[in-house]
Structure formats: structure tokens, C-alpha cells
Amino acid sequence: MKTTEAPATTAKGKGNGTGKKEGTALNVFSHGILVLWAIMVVLPLLWAVMTSFKDDASIFGSPWSLPDALHFDNWSRAWTQAHMSEYFLNTVLVVGGSLIGTLVLGSMAAYVLARFDFPGNRFVYFLFVGGMSFPIMLALVPLFYVVDNMGLLNTIHGLILVYIAYSLPFTVFFLTAFFRTLPTSVAEAAFVDGASHTRTFFQVMLPMAKPGLISVGIFNFLGQWNQYMLPTVLNTDPDKHVLTQGLVQLAVSQGYKGDWSGLFAGLVMAMLPVLAAYILFQRQVVQGLTAGALK
């Protein structure tokens, strides 16, 4: 017995040693890739922030060096003279309204598709899923005429409605899968207590879906805040331009003699709300993405 057990123990020990080495090598490789990816993402952001405090001569003369002095006038010039304050306000109105409308309508549709069986349930669901694969480029021309015929061209509320329609497919797809993971016993207990479907949804199920709402809200916020194609086609009024249009206008306003320091200041202004939103809600985003896998 002792003679036969010794080789098995030795082989097992060798196997564990090999497995640990392979696991260590894999961890080092994966962590190296993550570090490289973080550097590729963070360095351009830091460079843009650093450049926003330089003057034009320093930007072209020493683009990689730290600014010799902090030129806060770049930010004030971009905010006032380049009308970034107006573009920022228009963007907040459009994205805020569309984000609220998308989450309310999308959560209601997703809850019905996830919790109720009715004829055409799967058909309606796959219509929303199919909307995710429809290229927005193909819809620009008919969308322009539809919005124009409705009298909503070059209006803030018209752009809000288009953003809601553009974001609904992904929102319904995401939240439908999330609502299916929530326990049905809570909703049944609310019905037993006499709650209506509307009250059960808004006071019971919707608070339980908060991680999913935050996650899909962040994704929609990123897409709508950085949207350029739709406002360019549907919003040609300079007084109602959003930030993406304002940055382009700032870049081409002076022809070949561009205000590069002001442009970088405006770029950072447009970038900061997105970074702040993700930093504040990063934990909720991860919880929303992994909630279905943990159940």
C-alpha cells in the first residue's frame, strides 16, 4: 500500500504545481492586458485635460509637456464666446427629457413583456430586438420627413421624441431580461393585499429593478450625450445646437486659424459629465449587469 500511494501523491503534487503555474501565468497575462488597455484609455483623457490649460503656442510647440501656467481663460472663452453654455443647456434638456421618457416607457413595456403572457408577446419582443439591428443611417431620410410633417423639426421636444424612439429597443431588451429575474412572490403578495397592476409596478417592482434601471440609464446617457448624427439632421437651428454640434462649430468657426485651446476646453467640458456619471454609478452598473447571472 505504501509503495502504490507514494507515486499517486507525487503525481498529484506535480499536477497542482503545474496548475498553479498556468493559473499564475494566465493572471499575469490578463492583468497585463488590462493595464495596457487602461493606459490606452486614460492617457488620451489626461492629455486632453492637460492641453485644455495651455495656450495655442504651447500646444504646438511642446504638446507633451505640462503647461507652464494654467490658462483658465480657455475655459471661460469656450463657455461664453463659443456659446458652450447654450449648447450645454440644450444638451441637458434633450438628454434629461429623453432619458426620463426612455426609462419610464421602456420599463413599462419590459415589465409587461416579461410578466404577462398574451397573444403576440414574443412577436412584440422580437420587434424591439429587431430595432436594435436596424441601422440609423437607413432611417435618416424618412425620419427627417416624418419629423418635418409633424412640425417638430428644429425643436427640442422633437429631438427628445426621436432620442426616446432610438433608445427604446435596447432598453426594452435589457430590462425584459432583468424583470424576469425578479421574484414573482413579491408581486403576488402585493396583489393579495389589493394592489392594482399599476401600483404593484411603480411601488413594488420598479424599486426592485433599480440596479437594472441605473445600468441601462448609464448606457443610454452615454449614447444620447455623444449623439451627433441625429441632431445634425433634425436640428439645424444654431440656437438649439447640442454639445456635439457646438464642438464641431467651434472647430470650424475660424477656418484655418482655429482656437485650439478653446476647443480642448470645450471638449473636456463635454467629457466631464460622462465621466462623472460613470464614476458615481459604476458600482450600480456592475450590479445591474451581473444581477441576472447571480440568481
Q: Using N-to-C axis directions, what is the helix angle for 260-294 and 156-181, rounded to 10°?
A: 30
Q: What average pLDDT does this structure show over 257-276?
A: 83
**Nearest one of 101, 121, 229 to 168, comparing CA atoms:** 101
Q: Quote the percentage of the chain above a pLDDT of 90.
A: 29
Helix (H) or strand (E) holding 263: helix 260-294
In the CATH hierarchy, which fold is given to the domain comprising 73-294? MetI-like fold (1.10.3720)
Residue 94 has pLDDT above 90, yes or no: yes
Distances 254 to 71, 72, 224, 273 between C-alpha atoms, Å: 20, 21, 28, 27
Q: Are 273 and 96 in contact (CB under 8 A)?
A: no
User: Cα–Cα distance between 186 and 184 in angstroms, integer?
Assistant: 5
pLDDT per residue as tens digits for the range 66-83: 888 888 888 888 888 778
Residue 294 has pLDDT above 50, yes or no: no
User: Cα–Cα distance between 118 and 76 in angstroms, integer?
Assistant: 57
Q: Using N-to-C axis directions, what is the helix angle for 210-225 and 84-115, rounded to 10°?
A: 140
User: What are the residue boundaries of the structural domains of the chain, listed by start?
Assistant: 2-51, 73-294
pLDDT per residue as tens digits for the range 140-194: 899 999 999 999 999 999 999 999 999 999 999 999 998 988 888 888 888 888 8
What single DSSP character describes residue 239? Answer: G
Query: If you search the block for the grid coordinates 492629455, which residue do you land on?
Result: 47
Is this prediction's pTM over 0.75? yes
User: Cα–Cα distance between 201 and 112 in angstroms, integer?
Assistant: 10
Q: What average pLDDT does this structure show over 12-41?
A: 75
